[in-house]
Every structure is written in structure tokens, then in C-alpha cells.
Amino acid sequence: MTYRFLLLFGLLFLLLFSYLLYLNPEFLTLRLAAGLETRGTLPFFILISFAAGGLGVLFLFVARSVFYYFYGFKERKGRRHVQQAVQEARQAMEYRLAADYKKAVKKLKRALKLDSGNQEIRQLLVRVRLEAGEPQRAMEVIEEALKNDPDDSRFQWLKVEVLQAMGDNLRLINQLMYLKGRYPKNVAILNLLVTGLMGQSYWREAIDVWQELAEIAKGAKNKKEQGEIAVQLDNCRYELAVQQWQAGEREEARQTLKELLDKNQKFVPAYILQAAMEEQDRQNPKRIEAALAALKQGYRRQPNAWFLLEGERLLFTESEKNEEKVEKYYRKAVSRYPDYWPARLLFAFFCLRHQRLERAAEMLLEFKKQGINNPLVKILAGELSYRQSHQLNEAADQFKKAIGLEEAPPLVFVCGHCRRYAPSWRPRCPECGHYNTYELSADLVTLT
């Protein structure tokens, strides 16, 4: 508005000056010469000054118009390039949906030439590279974008996805650690980080991250999530103890197991590991007793058939004549948990193997009272009836025919989460990845 007012003001003075010149050119020429002198007439000198100012304003206005004309041309050209880039990106999306990634990449590159600062197109190019199975090329695009803006969180997240696709776990952990430093309370980052740490067996670092997640869940008062995190912490502590034990750090492993059992007294793998550590401690003359103590403590906290089988093995390792001790071991286990059928079943089979038929008959009677009639109990009843008749060879033959197998079925363990069978107890299910889930199975299963 100011420029327009000055332009109008200048034009009016120029018109006035031109009109005076038209009326009397000779007089005006003389007056102009006199007005330029110091002694000239002041009003006419002012008139000349205003006329000169009007010319100057007119020149500025014209210069400004020319400048904005060329600048606007450049702007219009930029807008046209942006529109063309968007059009190229849309065509690239169509090629992407048709799984023609080569043409999609070509279109996106052309779009970036037209609009090099468009980060959305660059993100789309990364996605297309990933879908085309070219994570290394996608990483090159990300690195180029991060040179311009290292703090762009969109490309930092894309970098995580690309590293996952590349399978570069160490770089992935480093990237997640960087993001964790920027967003320390971001649960998604912490979950990805702890998964990566566990995948690389960095159990101590994983425990630290799980504890951070536990604090966040505690602050949010999410009881379910707190319970899940507590389970994961137990698993990591167990794996850390195993790692320390295998590395020869026995005291550190014992301390880790102590921390674990202080938090969760029903974690069966911890007691099994503790018993194995005690058994292999050659410097301890009472290592068998120490291992048995660990197994007994574990059974008191959480009954499991593997405690009983390991206890029987340890007692016979100590002496082959420990039948009385083994029987006492089983009796205590049965009396402590009368409703725990695996203890009674293992005790009955032990009695059958060592010709203690009366004890086996007592266990079978208890099964009938409790209404337990699974396949293993039926096998026990059949074998016991034949053995009591002192027809051992015939008993074995009839036993095989009765269950339709060529040989007696072994005891198997089953995961309580995914129902995967295993010939022996395991601390972690290889199928579903859950810990502390294996128990003696009542099913007849032949493992191949």
C-alpha cells in the first residue's frame, strides 16, 4: 500500500511539472535554471525536488515489479516441479501395488530429482526397497536422508526396520540404544531393545532394560504387564546364571540364582541348575547331599516329576544299594503332596522295578480312590497284576500287546503351554519359548 501511495504522489508531481512546461517552456527553462541555484526561488526548487523524488519512486516500483516477476517465475517453476513429483510418486505407488518394484524405484528417483527435499517420497523409496528385498539399498537412502537431518525420527525408525531386514543384530542394538537415549520412556523401543539383547545372549543388559520396563508398568499401574515383565526377568536371570556357570563364574552364578529365587520361589529350572552346579563341584566332598538338598527344596516350593527322577539318579550314583533311601525319598514326596499323581506314579514304577509289589499296589489303590485313570495308571495296573501272578515273561508279552507297542513306552514330558512332547524335562520349550512349563505327561507318546 505504501509503494502505491508513493507512486501516485510521484506521478501527480510529474504531471504538474509537465503541464507547466507545456504552458510556457521558455519561462520554465529560465526558472528551472534559477531554481537550481542557491539563490533561486525556494518554492520552485521544492517543486523540482518533488518531481525528482517522483521519478525515483517510479524507478523503484518498476525495479521491484521486475524482481518479483522473475522471482515469481522461479516460484511457479518450483510449484510445477512439486506437482510433477507428486504425480511421479502416485505412479510409483501404482507400480508398488502391482509389485513392479523396478519401475516404482525409477519413478521415485525421478520424483526426488524434481523435489529433492521431499522426505515423504524418500521414505516411500525406502519402503519400496525393503519390499523389493534390497535392504542395503534402503539403508543408503536412509543414510543420505540423515545427512541432511540427523534428528529426523522417521528415518531413525526406518533404520531399525532396515537393520531387522538385514539381520544385523549388533547394529540394530546400537541403533536402539541411540533411540533409547532420545526416548528413554518409549516402551516400543525398550521392547525391541530387550528382544535384541536376549537374542544376542546379553542377559545382564536385558535384565536392566526389563527393570526399566517394570518401572514404567508400575507407574502405569498395569498389573498384567507387571506380571509378564516379572516372568521375563526370571527367564533372563536364569539364562544369565547358566552363562556365568558355563564361563566358570560359579559364585556369580550362585548369586544370580539367589536373586532369582528371592523373587520367584517356584521357578523349577533354577533349582535344577543349582543341583547340577552342586553335583559338579568336585571340591565339595558332600556334593551329592548338596545337590539333593537343592532338589528337595525345589520340590517343596513347586512339585515337579524331574526333581524325583533326578533325586533317584543321584542316590543311585552315590551307591547302587540305596534302594531304601530312594524309597524314603519317594515316600516323603508323596506325603508332602498327596494329590500330585506323578510322584505316586513314579514311586509305583520304582517299586515295580525293585519287586516291591505291595508298595506299588498301595499306590494303585490310591489312584483308584482319587479317580485317576490315565493311560500310565492303566499300564501300571496291568503290569502289577501280571507280576503279582509271578508270570513275568507272560506279563511282558501281554503288556506289549495291551498297549499296541513293540516296546514299553518311555515316560515323556509335555510343555504346559504348547503341548510339545520331549523325552526329558527341559527348562525352556524350543517350540513356544516359554520357561518353566514342562511336566510329566499322562499320554502314551512315541517320540521319533
Three-class SS of the chain: CHHHHHHHHHHHHHHHHHHHHHHCHHHHHHHHHHHCCCCCCHHHHHHHHHHHHHHHHHHHHHHHHHHHHHHHHHHHHHHHHHHHHHHHHHHHHHHHHCCCHHHHHHHHHHHHHHCCCCHHHHHHHHHHHHHCCCHHHHHHHHHHHHHHCCCCHHHHHHHHHHHHHHCCHHHHHHHHHHHHHHCCCCHHHHHHHHHHHHHCCCHHHHHHHHHHHHHHHHHHCCHHHHHHHHHHHHHHHHHHHHHHHHCCCHHHHHHHHHHHHHHCCCCHHHHHHHHHHHHCCCCCCCHHHHHHHHHHHHHHHCCCHHHHHHHHHHHHHHCCCCHHHHHHHHHHHHHHCCCCHHHHHHHHHHHHHCCCHHHHHHHHHHHHHHCCCCHHHHHHHHHHHHHHCCCHHHHHHHHHHHHCCCCCCCCCEEECCCCCEECCCCCECCCCCCECCEEECCCCCCCC
Top mean-pLDDT range of 49-53, 215-219, 273-277: 273-277
Are 350 and 411 spatial neighbours (Cβ–Cβ below 8 Å)?
no
Give the distance from CA 93 to its chain's centroid.
29
Is residue 302's pLDDT more than 70? yes
The phi, psi pair for 103, rounded to 5°, reads -70, -35
pLDDT digits (tens, 9 = 90+) for 82-119: 888 889 899 999 999 999 999 999 999 999 888 888 88
The confidence band for 368, taking pLDDT boundaries of 50, 70 and 90, is confident
**Cβ neighbours, 10 Å, residue 12:** 12
Residue 311: name the closest of 263, 359, 276 by CA: 276
- Asked which of 173-177, 179-183, 210-214, 279-283 is least confident by mean pLDDT, the reply is 279-283
Mean pLDDT score, 399-413:
59
- Residue matched to cell numbers 510409483: 92
Q: In the sheet that 421-422 helps form, which strands lie side by side, from edge to edge? A: 421-422, 413-415, 438-440
Mean pLDDT score, 276-298:
90
Q: Is 177 exposed, middle or buried (0-12, 13-18, 19+ CB in 10 A)?
A: middle
Q: How far is CA 272 from CA 108, 253, 267, 281, 439, in A?
A: 58, 13, 9, 14, 13
pLDDT digits (tens, 9 = 90+) for 250-275: 999 999 999 999 999 999 999 999 99
Is residue 218's pLDDT more than 50? yes
Overall pTM surpassing 0.85 (yes/no):
no
pLDDT of residue 83: 86
Mean pLDDT score, 208-233:
88
Quote the mean pLDDT of the chain.
81
The confidence band for 321, taking pLDDT boundaries of 50, 70 and 90, is confident
pLDDT of residue 9: 60
Q: Please, how many CA atoms are within 13 Å of residue 360, restricted to the half-sphere of its CB?
A: 23
pLDDT of residue 178: 92
The confidence band for 208, taking pLDDT boundaries of 50, 70 and 90, is very high
Mean pLDDT score, 139-154:
88
Mean pLDDT score, 19-30:
55
Residue 294: name the closest of 330, 254, 321, 354 by CA: 254
- Residue matched to cell numbers 508531481: 13
The confidence band for 243, taking pLDDT boundaries of 50, 70 and 90, is very high
The confidence band for 14, taking pLDDT boundaries of 50, 70 and 90, is low
Is residue 304's pLDDT more than 80? yes
pLDDT of residue 152: 87
Is residue 1's pLDDT more than 70? no
Is residue 429's pLDDT more than 60? yes
pLDDT of residue 395: 57
Residue 123: name the closest of 83, 101, 154 by CA: 154
Report the distance separating Cα 351 and Cα 361, nearest Å: 9
The confidence band for 175, taking pLDDT boundaries of 50, 70 and 90, is very high
pLDDT of residue 41: 47
pLDDT of residue 63: 66
- Residue matched to cell numbers 508398488: 96
Are 441 and 412 spatial neighbours (Cβ–Cβ below 8 Å)?
yes
The phi, psi pair for 438, rounded to 5°, reads -85, 135
The confidence band for 438, taking pLDDT boundaries of 50, 70 and 90, is very high
Report the distance separating Cα 115 and Cα 107, nearest Å: 12
pLDDT of residue 276: 93
pLDDT of residue 55: 63
pLDDT of residue 406: 45
Mean pLDDT score, 123-133:
92
pLDDT of residue 405: 47
The confidence band for 364, taking pLDDT boundaries of 50, 70 and 90, is confident
Q: Which amino acid is at 43?
A: P
Mean pLDDT score, 230-240:
93
